[in-house]
Amino acid sequence: MLKTASLSPIISVLHLKCKAPKFSTLVRNNHTQCTQTVRQNAIKNPTSLLQLPPTSAYIHLPFCRKRCHYCDFPVVALGSSLNQSQDDDPRIVDYIELICREIGATRLDFDQCPPLETVFFGGGTPSLVPPRLVSLVLDTLESKFGVCLDAEISMEMDPGTFTADKLRDLMGFGVNRVSLGVQAFQEELLKACGRAHGLKEVYEAIEIVESCRVENWSMDLISSLPHQTLSMWSESLRLTVDSKPTHVSVYDLQVEKDTKFGLLYAPGEFPLPSESQSAEFYKMASETLTSAGYEHYEISSYSKSGFKCQHNLTYWKNRSFYGFGLGSTSYLNGLRFSRPRMMREYKTFVKNLENGLAKHQQQSGEFDPKDRAMDVVMLSLRTARGLHIKTFVEDFGASLALSLCKAYKPYVESGHVLCLDKERKVIPTSEVSSSVAEDQLDEKVAFIRLSDPEGFLLSNELISVAFGLIAP
Protein backbone atom coordinates (compact mmCIF):
# COMPACT_ATOMS: atom_id res chain seq x y z
CA MET A 1 0.00 0.00 0.00
CA LEU A 2 1.06 3.56 -0.65
CA LYS A 3 3.34 5.11 1.95
CA THR A 4 4.96 8.37 0.93
CA ALA A 5 7.98 9.65 2.80
CA SER A 6 7.49 11.39 6.06
CA LEU A 7 5.86 14.46 4.94
CA SER A 8 7.21 15.35 1.72
CA PRO A 9 5.64 16.25 -1.70
CA ILE A 10 8.72 13.45 -1.97
CA ILE A 11 12.52 12.67 -2.59
CA SER A 12 15.54 12.25 -0.36
CA VAL A 13 17.42 11.70 -3.59
CA LEU A 14 15.77 14.70 -5.20
CA HIS A 15 15.33 17.31 -2.56
CA LEU A 16 14.44 17.46 1.07
CA LYS A 17 10.81 18.45 0.84
CA CYS A 18 10.30 16.30 -2.16
CA LYS A 19 11.58 13.05 -0.82
CA ALA A 20 11.70 9.98 -2.96
CA PRO A 21 8.98 7.57 -1.93
CA LYS A 22 10.42 4.97 0.40
CA PHE A 23 9.42 2.22 -1.99
CA SER A 24 12.17 3.45 -4.33
CA THR A 25 14.76 2.02 -1.93
CA LEU A 26 12.65 -0.80 -0.56
CA VAL A 27 11.68 -2.08 -3.96
CA ARG A 28 15.19 -2.04 -5.36
CA ASN A 29 16.21 -4.33 -2.54
CA ASN A 30 13.27 -6.65 -3.14
CA HIS A 31 12.96 -6.67 -6.92
CA THR A 32 14.43 -10.19 -7.16
CA GLN A 33 11.10 -11.48 -5.85
CA CYS A 34 9.52 -10.65 -9.22
CA THR A 35 9.27 -13.81 -11.30
CA GLN A 36 8.96 -12.33 -14.79
CA THR A 37 12.21 -10.74 -15.95
CA VAL A 38 13.97 -9.50 -19.05
CA ARG A 39 17.63 -10.37 -18.68
CA GLN A 40 18.82 -8.48 -21.72
CA ASN A 41 17.38 -4.99 -21.81
CA ALA A 42 17.79 -3.03 -25.02
CA ILE A 43 19.03 0.45 -24.13
CA LYS A 44 19.00 2.03 -27.56
CA ASN A 45 21.02 5.18 -26.96
CA PRO A 46 22.27 5.78 -23.41
CA THR A 47 23.84 9.11 -24.35
CA SER A 48 20.38 10.45 -25.20
CA LEU A 49 19.42 9.99 -21.57
CA LEU A 50 21.75 12.70 -20.32
CA GLN A 51 19.83 15.64 -18.95
CA LEU A 52 19.39 19.06 -20.46
CA PRO A 53 20.67 22.07 -18.47
CA PRO A 54 18.61 22.65 -15.31
CA THR A 55 15.95 25.33 -15.19
CA SER A 56 15.00 24.68 -11.56
CA ALA A 57 16.75 25.24 -8.24
CA TYR A 58 15.90 24.00 -4.75
CA ILE A 59 17.21 26.04 -1.81
CA HIS A 60 17.25 24.36 1.60
CA LEU A 61 16.64 26.75 4.51
CA PRO A 62 16.90 24.43 7.52
CA PHE A 63 15.71 26.69 10.35
CA CYS A 64 12.79 25.70 12.56
CA ARG A 65 11.53 26.85 15.93
CA LYS A 66 11.55 23.19 17.00
CA ARG A 67 11.85 19.77 15.39
CA CYS A 68 8.50 18.10 14.73
CA HIS A 69 8.09 14.54 16.00
CA TYR A 70 7.95 13.06 12.48
CA CYS A 71 10.82 15.08 10.94
CA ASP A 72 14.05 13.44 9.81
CA PHE A 73 15.26 16.34 7.65
CA PRO A 74 18.50 18.18 8.46
CA VAL A 75 17.22 21.19 10.40
CA VAL A 76 18.54 23.77 12.86
CA ALA A 77 16.18 24.35 15.80
CA LEU A 78 16.29 28.03 16.73
CA GLY A 79 14.07 27.76 19.80
CA SER A 80 10.93 29.67 20.70
CA SER A 81 12.86 32.83 21.61
CA LEU A 82 13.18 33.86 17.95
CA ASN A 83 10.74 36.67 17.16
CA GLN A 84 9.37 38.14 13.96
CA SER A 85 11.55 41.27 14.11
CA GLN A 86 14.83 39.49 14.78
CA ASP A 87 16.62 40.01 11.48
CA ASP A 88 20.17 39.41 12.61
CA ASP A 89 20.27 35.94 14.13
CA PRO A 90 23.89 35.03 13.30
CA ARG A 91 22.97 31.41 12.59
CA ILE A 92 20.66 32.51 9.77
CA VAL A 93 22.92 35.25 8.47
CA ASP A 94 25.98 32.97 8.35
CA TYR A 95 24.05 30.20 6.64
CA ILE A 96 22.66 32.47 3.94
CA GLU A 97 26.19 33.69 3.26
CA LEU A 98 27.27 30.04 2.98
CA ILE A 99 24.52 29.19 0.47
CA CYS A 100 25.39 32.24 -1.63
CA ARG A 101 29.02 31.15 -1.63
CA GLU A 102 27.99 27.68 -2.78
CA ILE A 103 25.88 29.09 -5.60
CA GLY A 104 28.70 31.37 -6.68
CA ALA A 105 31.26 28.55 -6.68
CA THR A 106 29.08 26.15 -8.69
CA ARG A 107 30.58 25.24 -12.04
CA LEU A 108 28.42 25.61 -15.13
CA ASP A 109 29.08 22.44 -17.11
CA PHE A 110 26.73 23.21 -19.99
CA ASP A 111 27.39 25.04 -23.25
CA GLN A 112 24.20 27.01 -22.77
CA CYS A 113 22.56 27.71 -19.42
CA PRO A 114 18.96 28.88 -19.71
CA PRO A 115 17.58 31.05 -16.89
CA LEU A 116 15.79 29.41 -13.99
CA GLU A 117 12.07 28.86 -14.45
CA THR A 118 11.37 27.66 -10.90
CA VAL A 119 12.95 28.27 -7.49
CA PHE A 120 11.75 26.44 -4.39
CA PHE A 121 12.67 27.49 -0.85
CA GLY A 122 12.16 24.42 1.33
CA GLY A 123 13.15 23.48 4.84
CA GLY A 124 12.91 23.57 7.67
CA THR A 125 10.71 26.62 7.91
CA PRO A 126 11.91 29.08 5.26
CA SER A 127 9.46 31.75 6.45
CA LEU A 128 11.67 32.22 9.52
CA VAL A 129 14.34 33.73 7.27
CA PRO A 130 14.14 37.54 6.95
CA PRO A 131 12.95 38.72 3.51
CA ARG A 132 16.13 40.70 2.84
CA LEU A 133 18.16 37.48 3.17
CA VAL A 134 15.78 35.60 0.88
CA SER A 135 16.27 38.46 -1.59
CA LEU A 136 20.04 38.04 -1.29
CA VAL A 137 19.74 34.39 -2.35
CA LEU A 138 17.50 35.30 -5.28
CA ASP A 139 19.95 38.02 -6.36
CA THR A 140 22.78 35.48 -6.24
CA LEU A 141 20.79 33.02 -8.36
CA GLU A 142 20.00 35.80 -10.82
CA SER A 143 23.65 36.74 -11.07
CA LYS A 144 24.81 33.14 -11.56
CA PHE A 145 22.09 31.59 -13.71
CA GLY A 146 19.51 34.24 -14.51
CA VAL A 147 15.88 33.96 -13.39
CA CYS A 148 12.92 34.26 -15.76
CA LEU A 149 10.64 37.22 -15.20
CA ASP A 150 7.67 34.87 -14.84
CA ALA A 151 9.53 32.22 -12.82
CA GLU A 152 7.56 30.28 -10.22
CA ILE A 153 9.23 31.12 -6.89
CA SER A 154 7.81 29.02 -4.06
CA MET A 155 8.34 29.24 -0.33
CA GLU A 156 7.26 26.87 2.41
CA MET A 157 5.71 28.85 5.26
CA ASP A 158 4.42 27.69 8.62
CA PRO A 159 1.59 29.33 10.56
CA GLY A 160 2.87 31.66 13.26
CA THR A 161 6.14 32.44 11.47
CA PHE A 162 5.10 35.35 9.26
CA THR A 163 3.05 38.52 9.31
CA ALA A 164 1.24 40.27 6.47
CA ASP A 165 4.10 42.77 6.22
CA LYS A 166 6.66 39.99 5.99
CA LEU A 167 4.69 38.19 3.29
CA ARG A 168 4.29 41.39 1.29
CA ASP A 169 8.04 41.97 1.52
CA LEU A 170 8.71 38.44 0.26
CA MET A 171 6.27 38.96 -2.60
CA GLY A 172 8.01 42.22 -3.42
CA PHE A 173 11.29 40.32 -3.75
CA GLY A 174 9.74 37.79 -6.13
CA VAL A 175 8.08 35.02 -4.06
CA ASN A 176 4.81 34.29 -5.87
CA ARG A 177 3.80 30.89 -4.54
CA VAL A 178 3.22 29.91 -0.90
CA SER A 179 3.14 26.38 0.48
CA LEU A 180 1.40 26.61 3.85
CA GLY A 181 2.26 23.81 6.30
CA VAL A 182 -1.06 23.42 8.12
CA GLN A 183 -0.90 19.60 8.50
CA ALA A 184 -4.12 19.28 10.57
CA PHE A 185 -7.14 21.28 11.74
CA GLN A 186 -7.30 19.67 15.19
CA GLU A 187 -5.45 21.21 18.12
CA GLU A 188 -4.76 17.84 19.71
CA LEU A 189 -3.15 16.47 16.54
CA LEU A 190 -0.95 19.52 16.11
CA LYS A 191 0.28 19.12 19.68
CA ALA A 192 0.78 15.38 19.23
CA CYS A 193 2.97 16.08 16.18
CA GLY A 194 5.13 18.54 18.08
CA ARG A 195 4.13 21.38 15.77
CA ALA A 196 5.15 24.85 16.94
CA HIS A 197 1.81 26.33 15.88
CA GLY A 198 -1.75 25.82 17.02
CA LEU A 199 -5.14 26.11 15.34
CA LYS A 200 -5.36 29.83 16.06
CA GLU A 201 -2.15 30.43 14.07
CA VAL A 202 -3.53 28.28 11.23
CA TYR A 203 -6.55 30.52 10.73
CA GLU A 204 -4.42 33.65 11.11
CA ALA A 205 -2.01 32.39 8.44
CA ILE A 206 -4.84 31.63 6.01
CA GLU A 207 -6.25 35.10 6.60
CA ILE A 208 -2.83 36.68 5.93
CA VAL A 209 -2.42 34.76 2.68
CA GLU A 210 -5.88 35.88 1.57
CA SER A 211 -5.35 39.51 2.62
CA CYS A 212 -2.09 39.66 0.68
CA ARG A 213 -3.92 38.30 -2.36
CA VAL A 214 -1.55 35.40 -2.97
CA GLU A 215 -3.16 33.80 -5.99
CA ASN A 216 -0.99 30.69 -6.12
CA TRP A 217 -0.88 28.94 -2.75
CA SER A 218 -0.89 25.39 -1.50
CA MET A 219 -1.95 23.79 1.75
CA ASP A 220 -0.13 20.76 3.20
CA LEU A 221 -2.02 18.08 5.14
CA ILE A 222 -0.87 14.87 6.84
CA SER A 223 -2.90 11.68 7.12
CA SER A 224 -2.33 8.55 9.24
CA LEU A 225 -1.24 10.54 12.31
CA PRO A 226 -1.37 9.00 15.80
CA HIS A 227 -4.95 9.03 17.16
CA GLN A 228 -6.27 10.51 13.92
CA THR A 229 -9.79 9.36 13.06
CA LEU A 230 -11.71 9.39 9.80
CA SER A 231 -13.99 12.10 11.17
CA MET A 232 -10.96 14.26 12.01
CA TRP A 233 -9.58 13.71 8.52
CA SER A 234 -12.93 14.50 6.94
CA GLU A 235 -13.05 17.75 8.91
CA SER A 236 -9.53 18.72 7.84
CA LEU A 237 -10.37 18.08 4.20
CA ARG A 238 -13.60 20.07 4.45
CA LEU A 239 -11.89 23.03 6.10
CA THR A 240 -9.15 22.88 3.49
CA VAL A 241 -11.68 23.10 0.68
CA ASP A 242 -13.42 25.96 2.49
CA SER A 243 -10.09 27.84 2.63
CA LYS A 244 -9.89 27.72 -1.19
CA PRO A 245 -6.18 27.08 -1.79
CA THR A 246 -5.30 26.61 -5.43
CA HIS A 247 -3.23 23.52 -4.59
CA VAL A 248 -3.33 20.83 -1.89
CA SER A 249 -0.60 18.35 -0.93
CA VAL A 250 -1.65 15.31 1.08
CA TYR A 251 1.06 13.20 2.68
CA ASP A 252 0.65 9.82 4.31
CA LEU A 253 2.81 9.66 7.43
CA GLN A 254 5.67 7.19 7.44
CA VAL A 255 7.38 6.76 10.77
CA GLU A 256 11.15 7.19 10.50
CA LYS A 257 13.30 5.31 12.99
CA ASP A 258 15.45 8.28 14.02
CA THR A 259 12.51 10.54 14.90
CA LYS A 260 10.53 10.89 18.12
CA PHE A 261 7.64 9.07 16.47
CA GLY A 262 10.08 6.31 15.57
CA LEU A 263 10.88 5.86 19.26
CA LEU A 264 7.26 5.95 20.36
CA TYR A 265 5.32 4.05 17.71
CA ALA A 266 5.46 1.01 15.45
CA PRO A 267 3.81 1.30 12.02
CA GLY A 268 0.37 -0.31 11.88
CA GLU A 269 0.03 -0.49 15.65
CA PHE A 270 -2.23 1.70 17.76
CA PRO A 271 -2.32 4.68 18.05
CA LEU A 272 -1.21 4.74 14.40
CA PRO A 273 -3.87 3.70 11.90
CA SER A 274 -3.80 0.28 10.28
CA GLU A 275 -2.97 -0.02 6.58
CA SER A 276 -6.66 -0.40 5.74
CA GLN A 277 -7.44 2.78 7.69
CA SER A 278 -4.62 4.63 5.91
CA ALA A 279 -6.11 3.49 2.62
CA GLU A 280 -9.46 4.94 3.66
CA PHE A 281 -7.76 8.26 4.46
CA TYR A 282 -6.25 8.28 1.00
CA LYS A 283 -9.51 7.39 -0.75
CA MET A 284 -11.37 10.06 1.21
CA ALA A 285 -8.85 12.71 0.19
CA SER A 286 -9.09 11.73 -3.46
CA GLU A 287 -12.88 11.74 -3.45
CA THR A 288 -13.27 14.95 -1.44
CA LEU A 289 -10.71 17.02 -3.33
CA THR A 290 -11.60 15.86 -6.83
CA SER A 291 -15.28 16.50 -6.07
CA ALA A 292 -14.27 20.04 -5.06
CA GLY A 293 -12.67 20.67 -8.45
CA TYR A 294 -9.06 19.72 -7.75
CA GLU A 295 -7.17 17.62 -10.28
CA HIS A 296 -5.32 14.69 -8.73
CA TYR A 297 -2.25 15.08 -10.92
CA GLU A 298 0.30 13.26 -8.76
CA ILE A 299 0.00 10.72 -5.94
CA SER A 300 0.19 13.37 -3.21
CA SER A 301 -0.79 16.48 -5.19
CA TYR A 302 -4.07 18.14 -6.16
CA SER A 303 -4.51 21.41 -7.98
CA LYS A 304 -7.05 23.75 -9.47
CA SER A 305 -6.74 24.32 -13.22
CA GLY A 306 -3.51 26.14 -14.04
CA PHE A 307 -1.96 25.75 -10.59
CA LYS A 308 0.12 22.58 -10.72
CA CYS A 309 3.43 23.05 -8.93
CA GLN A 310 5.82 23.62 -11.82
CA HIS A 311 8.84 23.02 -9.62
CA ASN A 312 7.66 19.60 -8.50
CA LEU A 313 6.81 18.69 -12.09
CA THR A 314 10.56 18.97 -12.69
CA TYR A 315 10.96 15.93 -10.45
CA TRP A 316 8.06 13.92 -11.82
CA LYS A 317 9.34 14.43 -15.35
CA ASN A 318 12.84 13.38 -14.24
CA ARG A 319 14.40 16.62 -15.43
CA SER A 320 17.68 17.99 -14.13
CA PHE A 321 17.80 20.52 -11.30
CA TYR A 322 20.16 22.30 -8.94
CA GLY A 323 20.05 21.82 -5.19
CA PHE A 324 21.79 24.17 -2.77
CA GLY A 325 22.19 24.04 0.98
CA LEU A 326 22.53 21.57 3.81
CA GLY A 327 21.64 18.02 2.75
CA SER A 328 20.26 19.06 -0.63
CA THR A 329 20.70 17.11 -3.86
CA SER A 330 21.35 18.15 -7.45
CA TYR A 331 20.55 16.06 -10.52
CA LEU A 332 22.95 16.85 -13.37
CA ASN A 333 23.83 14.89 -16.51
CA GLY A 334 21.90 11.89 -15.23
CA LEU A 335 23.72 11.78 -11.87
CA ARG A 336 22.63 12.83 -8.40
CA PHE A 337 24.97 14.81 -6.15
CA SER A 338 24.30 15.27 -2.45
CA ARG A 339 25.55 17.79 0.09
CA PRO A 340 26.47 16.86 3.68
CA ARG A 341 23.64 16.78 6.22
CA MET A 342 25.75 18.13 9.07
CA MET A 343 26.57 21.85 9.20
CA ARG A 344 30.29 21.47 9.91
CA GLU A 345 30.75 19.10 6.96
CA TYR A 346 28.64 21.34 4.74
CA LYS A 347 30.86 24.32 5.54
CA THR A 348 33.91 22.26 4.59
CA PHE A 349 32.20 21.18 1.37
CA VAL A 350 31.54 24.80 0.35
CA LYS A 351 35.11 25.78 1.13
CA ASN A 352 36.46 22.89 -0.94
CA LEU A 353 34.08 23.80 -3.77
CA GLU A 354 35.44 27.35 -3.79
CA ASN A 355 39.01 26.07 -3.80
CA GLY A 356 38.37 23.68 -6.67
CA LEU A 357 38.98 20.65 -4.45
CA ALA A 358 35.46 19.28 -4.86
CA LYS A 359 32.86 19.59 -7.56
CA HIS A 360 30.03 17.82 -5.81
CA GLN A 361 29.52 15.07 -3.30
CA GLN A 362 28.44 12.33 -5.60
CA GLN A 363 25.66 9.93 -4.63
CA SER A 364 25.94 7.60 -7.61
CA GLY A 365 29.34 7.08 -9.18
CA GLU A 366 28.49 6.67 -12.86
CA PHE A 367 25.63 6.97 -15.28
CA ASP A 368 23.59 3.76 -15.34
CA PRO A 369 20.83 3.47 -17.97
CA LYS A 370 18.99 0.89 -15.86
CA ASP A 371 18.87 3.28 -12.91
CA ARG A 372 17.56 5.93 -15.25
CA ALA A 373 14.87 3.55 -16.59
CA MET A 374 13.78 2.74 -13.04
CA ASP A 375 13.62 6.44 -12.17
CA VAL A 376 11.51 7.14 -15.26
CA VAL A 377 9.02 4.38 -14.41
CA MET A 378 8.83 5.24 -10.72
CA LEU A 379 8.33 8.96 -11.23
CA SER A 380 6.00 8.63 -14.22
CA LEU A 381 3.68 6.22 -12.45
CA ARG A 382 3.33 8.70 -9.58
CA THR A 383 1.50 11.01 -11.97
CA ALA A 384 -1.90 11.05 -13.62
CA ARG A 385 -0.15 11.49 -16.97
CA GLY A 386 1.61 8.18 -16.50
CA LEU A 387 4.39 6.56 -18.52
CA HIS A 388 4.71 7.79 -22.12
CA ILE A 389 5.27 4.62 -24.11
CA LYS A 390 6.78 6.16 -27.25
CA THR A 391 9.46 8.02 -25.31
CA PHE A 392 10.17 4.97 -23.17
CA VAL A 393 10.59 2.82 -26.31
CA GLU A 394 12.94 5.39 -27.87
CA ASP A 395 15.13 5.48 -24.77
CA PHE A 396 15.02 1.91 -23.50
CA GLY A 397 13.82 -0.30 -26.35
CA ALA A 398 10.54 -1.83 -27.48
CA SER A 399 11.21 -5.21 -25.88
CA LEU A 400 11.36 -3.75 -22.38
CA ALA A 401 8.20 -1.71 -22.92
CA LEU A 402 6.37 -4.76 -24.25
CA SER A 403 7.56 -6.92 -21.34
CA LEU A 404 6.37 -4.24 -18.92
CA CYS A 405 2.90 -4.24 -20.46
CA LYS A 406 2.78 -8.04 -20.35
CA ALA A 407 3.72 -8.00 -16.67
CA TYR A 408 0.98 -5.44 -15.98
CA LYS A 409 -1.70 -7.40 -17.84
CA PRO A 410 -3.24 -8.88 -14.64
CA TYR A 411 -3.38 -5.39 -13.13
CA VAL A 412 -5.01 -4.03 -16.28
CA GLU A 413 -7.66 -6.72 -15.89
CA SER A 414 -8.15 -5.83 -12.22
CA GLY A 415 -8.42 -2.11 -13.02
CA HIS A 416 -5.30 -1.03 -11.11
CA VAL A 417 -3.40 -0.16 -14.30
CA LEU A 418 -4.94 1.77 -17.19
CA CYS A 419 -3.72 1.81 -20.78
CA LEU A 420 -4.57 4.98 -22.70
CA ASP A 421 -4.55 5.86 -26.39
CA LYS A 422 -3.11 9.06 -27.87
CA GLU A 423 -6.31 10.94 -26.97
CA ARG A 424 -5.89 9.62 -23.39
CA LYS A 425 -8.98 7.46 -23.63
CA VAL A 426 -8.92 4.19 -21.69
CA ILE A 427 -8.35 1.23 -24.00
CA PRO A 428 -10.59 -1.79 -23.28
CA THR A 429 -8.80 -4.72 -21.67
CA SER A 430 -9.43 -7.01 -24.64
CA GLU A 431 -7.73 -4.58 -27.02
CA VAL A 432 -4.76 -4.22 -24.69
CA SER A 433 -4.39 -7.99 -24.52
CA SER A 434 -4.47 -8.35 -28.31
CA SER A 435 -1.95 -5.53 -28.78
CA VAL A 436 0.45 -7.16 -26.34
CA ALA A 437 -0.06 -10.62 -27.85
CA GLU A 438 0.59 -9.34 -31.37
CA ASP A 439 3.57 -7.20 -30.33
CA GLN A 440 1.77 -4.09 -31.59
CA LEU A 441 2.01 -2.13 -28.40
CA ASP A 442 3.07 1.24 -29.79
CA GLU A 443 0.28 1.25 -32.39
CA LYS A 444 -2.46 1.52 -29.77
CA VAL A 445 -1.09 2.14 -26.27
CA ALA A 446 0.27 5.67 -25.78
CA PHE A 447 0.36 5.85 -21.97
CA ILE A 448 0.29 3.55 -18.96
CA ARG A 449 -0.97 5.03 -15.71
CA LEU A 450 -2.23 3.84 -12.33
CA SER A 451 -5.91 4.21 -11.56
CA ASP A 452 -7.07 6.68 -8.92
CA PRO A 453 -7.22 5.79 -6.08
CA GLU A 454 -6.91 2.00 -6.21
CA GLY A 455 -3.89 1.86 -8.51
CA PHE A 456 -2.05 4.58 -6.60
CA LEU A 457 -2.58 2.58 -3.42
CA LEU A 458 -0.78 -0.38 -5.05
CA SER A 459 2.05 1.78 -6.38
CA ASN A 460 4.73 0.00 -4.32
CA GLU A 461 3.82 -3.39 -5.75
CA LEU A 462 3.37 -2.14 -9.30
CA ILE A 463 6.67 -0.29 -9.37
CA SER A 464 8.35 -3.35 -7.86
CA VAL A 465 7.16 -5.37 -10.85
CA ALA A 466 8.79 -2.85 -13.20
CA PHE A 467 12.06 -2.82 -11.25
CA GLY A 468 12.21 -6.61 -11.43
CA LEU A 469 12.05 -6.41 -15.21
CA ILE A 470 14.57 -3.62 -15.62
CA ALA A 471 17.23 -4.87 -13.20
CA PRO A 472 16.63 -8.58 -12.52
Render pLDDT for 251-263 as a digit per residue (tens, 0 to 9): 999 888 888 887 8
**Cα–Cα distance between 324 and 105 in angstroms, integer?**
11
Higher-scoring residue by pLDDT: 96, 74: 96
Q: Report the DSSP beta bridge partners of residue 250.
A: 221
pLDDT score at 363:
47
Under DSSP, the state recorded for 46 is G
User: With contact defined as beta carbons under 8 Å apart, do 61 and 414 qualify?
Assistant: no
Cα–Cα distance measured from residue 316 to residue 339, given in angstroms and rounded to the nearest whole number:
22
Buried b / exposed e over 354-386, threshold 16 CB at 10 Å, is eeeeeebbeeeeeebbbbbbbbbbbbbbbbbbb
Q: In the sheet where 247-252 sits, what is the strand order?
A: 295-298, 301-303, 247-252, 216-223, 177-183, 147-157, 116-122, 56-60, 322-324
Question: What proportion of the chain, given as a percentage, has pLDDT over 70?
Answer: 84
Q: How far is CA 23 from CA 62, 144, 259, 405, 406, in A?
A: 25, 36, 19, 21, 22
Helix (H, G, I), strand (E, B) or coil at 434: helix
Q: How far apart are CA 324 and CA 330, in angstroms?
A: 8
- pLDDT confidence band for 161 (50 / 70 / 90): very high
Q: Give the residue extent of every domain in the chain.
A: 23-48+386-470, 51-316
* Residue type for position 220: D
Mean pLDDT confidence for 66-79: 81
**Predicted pLDDT of residue 8:** 35
Indicate whether 40 pLDDT > 60.
no
Residues 6+ apart with CB under 8 A from 461: none
Cα 397 versus chain centre, distance: 28
- Give the mean pLDDT of the chain: 84
Of 391 and 45, more confident: 391
Residue 365's pLDDT band (boundaries 50, 70, 90)?
A: low
Q: CA 11 to CA 7: how far, in whole Å?
A: 10
Q: Are 281 and 368 in contact (CB under 8 A)?
A: no
Predicted confidence (pLDDT) at residue 39 exceeds the cutoff of 80: no
User: By C-alpha distance, which of 352, 318, 355, 351 is closest to 334?
Assistant: 318
57/398: higher pLDDT: 57
What average pLDDT does the segment 422-444 reach? 78
DSSP string for residues in 368-398? -HHHHHHHHHHHHTTBSS-EEHHHHHHHH-H
User: Contact at 8 Å (CB) between 327 and 353?
Assistant: no
DSSP secondary structure string, 341-359? SSHHHHHHHHHHHHTTS-S
pLDDT tens digits along 238-254: 999 999 999 999 999 98
Query: What distance in Å separates the CA atoms of residue 283 and residue 267, rounded to the nearest whole number?
Result: 19
Q: How confident is the model at residue 87 (pLDDT cuts 50, 70, 90)?
A: low
CA atoms of 391 and 371, how far apart (whole Å): 16
pLDDT at position 80: 65
Give pLDDT tens digits for 98-152: 999 999 999 887 778 899 999 999 999 999 999 999 999 999 999 999 999 999 9
Distance CA 250, CA 168 (A): 27
Question: Is the preceding omega at residue 415 within 30 degrees of 0, hence cis?
Answer: no
Mean pLDDT of 3-9: 36
d(CA 314, CA 55): 9
- The pLDDT, as a whole number, for residue 112 is 82
* Segment of 40-49, 124-133, 325-334, 438-447 carrying the highest mean pLDDT: 124-133
* Highest mean predicted confidence (pLDDT) among 5-9, 310-314, 368-372: 310-314
pLDDT band for position 51 (cuts 50, 70, 90): low
Check if CATH label 3.80.30.20 holds for domain 51-316.
yes
pLDDT at 56: 97
Whether the predicted model's global pTM rises above the 0.75 cut: yes
The span from the CA of 447 to the CA of 406, in Å, is: 14
Average pLDDT on 301-310 reads 98
Q: Backbone phi, then psi, for 44, in 5-degree steps?
A: -70, -40
**pLDDT average, residue stretch 315-336:** 91
Under 8 Å CB-to-CB from 466, ≥6 apart: which residues?
374, 377, 378, 381, 404, 407
